[in-house]
Amino acid sequence: MISDSHGAPHGGRLSTLAAAWVVARRDFTAILFSRTFFFFLLGPLFPVIVGALAGSVGGSVERSSDRAEVGVLMAGADADAVLRARDALADRLGQDLPGLVVLQRLAPGERADPAAAMAGKQANIAAVLSGTPSAPVLTGPRGQIEAWRGDIAMIAAQAEQGALRPWPQVHLETTASSQVSERKSRRGTAQAAQTLLFLLTMMLAGMVLSNLVEEKGNKIIEVLAAAIPMEAVFYGKLFAMLGVSLVGIAVWAGVGTGFYLVAGSALPLPSPAVGWPLLIGLGVLYFSMAYLLLGSVFLSIGSLAATVREVQTLSMPVTMMQLLLFFFATYAMTQPGSAIEVAAALFPFSSPFTMLARAAQDASILPHVAALAWQALWVVLLVRLGSGLFRSRVMKSGAQGRGGKRRFTRRAREGA
């Protein structure tokens, strides 16, 4: 059939693709330029900003707080030897003062009563070291003194010996990484990618449900369904919400990149198997597939439900099932090449999470092409199933529907 410049057949009815484009453009523009979208972008940033500020304040409090010290209750010469040994060892080990246990000579009034020294508020004495370097005695709470036993033994041995003996020079030969550390690093990257994909999907897929419930309440969805193929309505809404979600993710990624650049080398990133550019590209594709798969289910639920409460009731099992599938994909990540991983990759709703984790651990590319094609096939099947249920359960046929089709086609042509 020959189509005109607007993509509509000469029979006067928009094709499924053209109608889906009209719906997608309408929804995308309406949401993107609304005031609620601005607050939607700010929503996830507030917890990140609050967490960063809380971490900064907590670190400042931790740095400003006094560190527990060990009071030295020894004869003058022994106390001097122990303090010198502690400072010499700290310098030799290349550590700053917090590296080893901190020793503090007790004041004359505190030496007569070690318990009073530990209970006093003028110093931060948590334990008392007495005896001699050859027979040191550490008095204090069990947890503290057991943790300091090794440090005190090393310091006391050095104090008894006197001057530090020369230590052999250790020559360093570096390698890029070991196989064990590389596998561990890539597994951590895979787990982080899976978790981020799951959180973004669950947080953003709900927009499809809320949008459909709103339009169903004011009868817009029924007008659209009467005017164009229901599949076009589903595709248009899915891809419009996907586009809005990708815009939001791009904004959040820009903010995150800014934080990373400010942090600089303090946040080294491990290298995934396929490399960061390809992993990010696959992440976008797998997020799109996970979003479309879950969104198509939410669209079916929203189109069949009569009230908001019914929508929430019906969507809860889907959400819990998706959580279980995420755990299934996480477990499959730890079993590469096994039947469990293959099953998780084949099941459509766990496939995006499993394959993204595989990209972080395995450099093969062809499995991702097959997986994306498989997931896209399931999107088409779910949209057809959902639109078919809507037609059979909700949509009304007849002259009113045909009139609605003609009105929608005319408006679409005028808007194009």
Residues 6+ apart with CB under 8 A from 220: none
Please tell me the predicted confidence (pLDDT) of residue 109.
57
The predicted model gives 364-387 an average pLDDT of 93
Q: Model confidence over 297-347: pLDDT tens digits?
A: 888 877 776 666 777 777 788 888 988 999 999 999 888 889 999 999 999
Place of tokens 């076009």: 232
At residue 254 the predicted structure's pLDDT band, cuts being 50, 70 and 90, is confident
Question: Looking at per-residue confidence, does 385 or 300 come out higher?
Answer: 385
Question: Looking at per-residue confidence, does 372 or 222 come out higher?
Answer: 372
Which range, of 7-16, 120-129, 201-210, 380-389, averages the lowest pLDDT?
Answer: 7-16
CA–CA dist 347, 354 (Å, integer): 10
Residue 74: left (phi > 0), alpha (psi -120 to 50), or beta?
beta
What is the side-by-side order of every strand in the sheet holding 69-72? 102-105, 69-72, 125-132, 135-139
Q: Alpha carbon of 280 to those of 136, 190, 390: distances in Å? A: 58, 12, 36
**Is residue 3 within 8 Å of 10, Cβ to Cβ?**
yes
Question: Looking at per-residue confidence, does 387 or 351 come out higher?
Answer: 351
In 3D space, the residue among 97, 118, 287, 65 whose CA is nearest the CA of residue 195 turns out to be 287
Place of tokens 């993509």: 7
* 69-72 vs 125-132, strand pairing mode: parallel
CA–CA dist 221, 303 (Å, integer): 8
Query: Residue 300 carries which side chain, given as an amino acid letter?
Result: S
Q: How many residues does the chain have?
A: 416
In 3D space, the residue among 13, 10, 21 whose CA is nearest the CA of residue 416 turns out to be 21
Q: Per residue in 293-326, is it b (16+ CB within 10 Å) or e — as a string?
A: bbbbbbbbbbbbbeeeeebeebbeebeeebeebb
In 3D space, the residue among 121, 152, 124 whose CA is nearest the CA of residue 138 turns out to be 152
Question: Looking at per-residue confidence, does 410 or 159 come out higher?
Answer: 159
| Burial bucket for residue 249 (CB in 10 Å: 0-12, 13-18, 19+) | middle
CA–CA dist 162, 184 (Å, integer): 44
Question: Looking at per-residue confidence, does 35 or 190 come out higher?
Answer: 190
Q: Model confidence over 334-374: pLDDT tens digits?
A: 888 899 999 999 999 999 999 999 999 988 999 999 999 99
CA–CA dist 8, 410 (Å, integer): 11
CA–CA dist 368, 354 (Å, integer): 10
- Cα R_g (the chain), whole angstroms: 33
DSSP state of 396: P
Residues 6+ apart with CB under 8 A from 309: none
Please tell me the predicted confidence (pLDDT) of residue 71.
80
Cite the DSSP H helix spans in 266-365: 276-304, 308-333, 339-346, 351-361
Question: 390-395 contacts: CB < 8 A, separation 24 or more?
Answer: 390/225, 390/230, 390/300, 390/303, 390/304, 391/225, 391/230, 393/304, 394/222, 394/225, 394/303, 394/304, 395/222, 395/225, 395/226, 395/230
Helix (H) or strand (E) holding 103: strand 102-105
- 1 has pLDDT over 50: no
Tokens matching residue 253: 């990624």
Backbone angles phi and psi of 131, in degrees to 5: 85, -140
Whole-prediction pTM: 0.67
Backbone angles phi and psi of 102, in degrees to 5: -90, 125
Q: Render 297-312 in DSSP notation, one character per residue.
A: HHHHHHHH-SSHHHHH
